[in-house]
Amino acid sequence: MSDFNRGFTGAVQVDKADMSVDSGLRSFMLGVYNKVALGLVLSAALAFLTGTFPPVRDLMFKVTADGRLVGMTLVGYAVAFGPLAIMLFSGFARRTPDARSASVTYWSIVSLMGASLGVLTFVYTGASIASTFLITAAAFGGLSLVGYTTKKDLTAMGSFLIMGVFGLVIASLVGMFWNPDGLQLVISVLGVLIFSGLIAYDTQRLKTMYYELSSDGEAMSVATSYGALNLYLNFINLFQFLLRLVGSRR
C-alpha cells in the first residue's frame, strides 16, 4: 500500500475546471490515462513472466517441486522492496524533479511492482485474477469519471483517505504478529473503500494541477508521470484488496 507525491497542496477549485470547453485538460488527462494503461499492461506481462516462467520465477521465488510457494529469494525481496526505496530516494534526493527523472521513476516502480505481483499466481487461480482485474478496471473507470466530473470539492475527503492509508499500513503490520479472526476481512474492506475514494480524489487533484501548471511544459510532463503513478498505485492496491475479498485461492 503505497502513496506517492501527494505534496501538491493547492485547493481543488472545482469551478475552474470546465472539461466541456477545455481540450487542453482532456489532452492532459488522456496522457495520464494512457501512461497508466501502458503501466498496467507492462505489470501484467511481468507478473505473468515471474509467476509462470521457471528460469525467471526461480530467481525470485522459492517453489517446491509441485509448484507451491514457500518463500522468496534475495532477488525477490529486492524487487518487492525496490519501489519503496525508489520512492524514498525520489522524495528526498530530488525536490524538484525534471520530466526525465519523473518518467524513469514511474517506469522503474511499475516494472518492479509488476515483477513482484507474480506472487499472486501462486495464491489465486488465473481465472479469478483475470476477472478481478476486469472488475477493478471497471471500478477504476467509474470512480475516475466521478472525480473528473464532480463539482464537489474532494480535498477534505482526500486528506481523510490519505490518513486512512497510514492506518492500513499500521493495521497490516499489526496483523503480521497478531491476527484475530476477521481482521484481514476488515482490512480488505477498508482498503477497497479507501483506494476507491483516492481514485476519485486524485483524478480531481490532477484537474487542478493542470490549471496551476498548464503554462509550464516541463512541470506538466512531471505532473503526467507522477499523476499516472498515483492512479497506478491506487489501481494496484484496489485490485489486491478486491482479490483478497473475491479471489478464488488455489
Nearest in space to 159 (alpha carbons), one of 197, 105, 121, 185: 197
Percent of the chain residues past pLDDT 70, beyond the cut: 90
What value does the mean pLDDT take over residues 78-90?
90
Inside any domain, residue 1: no
Inside any domain, residue 239: yes
Q: What is the pLDDT of residue 95?
A: 66
Nearest in space to 203 (alpha carbons), one of 1, 26, 39, 38: 26
Inside any domain, residue 51: yes
pLDDT at 206 over 90: yes
Residue 38's CB is within 10 A of a number of other CB atoms, namely 15
CA gyration radius, the chain: 19
What value does the mean pLDDT take over residues 156-180?
89
Q: What is the pLDDT of residue 93?
A: 61
What range defines the domain where residue 89 resides?
Answer: 14-246
| Grid-cell match 511544459, residue found | 217
Q: What is the pLDDT of residue 114?
A: 96
Please give the C-alpha separations between residue 25 and each of 8, 21, 35, 152, in angstroms, as whole numbers.
Answer: 18, 9, 15, 18
Inside any domain, residue 8: no
Inside any domain, residue 6: no
pLDDT digits (tens, 9 = 90+) for 15-71: 544 544 478 888 999 999 999 999 999 999 999 999 999 999 999 999 888 778 888
152-182 b/e with 16+ CB inside 10 Å = b?
eebbeebeebbebbeebeebeeeeeeeeeee
Distance of alpha carbon 114 from the chain centroid = 11
Q: What is the pLDDT of residue 175?
A: 82
pLDDT at 4 over 50: no
Q: What is the pLDDT of residue 180?
A: 82
Nearest in space to 224 (alpha carbons), one of 209, 237, 235: 209
* Mean pLDDT over each residue of the chain, to the nearest integer: 87
* 69 strand-pairing partners: 63
Q: What is the pLDDT of residue 11?
A: 44
Q: What is the pLDDT of residue 215?
A: 72
94 pLDDT tier (thresholds 50, 70, 90): low
Q: What is the pLDDT of residue 186?
A: 92
Inside any domain, residue 46: yes
Q: What is the pLDDT of residue 216?
A: 75
pLDDT digits (tens, 9 = 90+) for 19-31: 444 788 889 999 9
Predicted TM-score (pTM) of the model is 0.89
Q: What is the pLDDT of residue 99?
A: 87
Q: Return the SS3 of 224.
A: helix
Extract the C-alpha cell encoding 51. 509467476
Q: What is the pLDDT of residue 9?
A: 40
Q: Return the SS3 of 70.
A: strand
Inside any domain, residue 9: no
Nearest in space to 198 (alpha carbons), one of 151, 172, 230: 230
118 pLDDT tier (thresholds 50, 70, 90): very high
217 pLDDT tier (thresholds 50, 70, 90): confident
pLDDT digits (tens, 9 = 90+) for 119-147: 999 999 999 999 999 999 999 999 999 99
Total domains in the chain come to 1
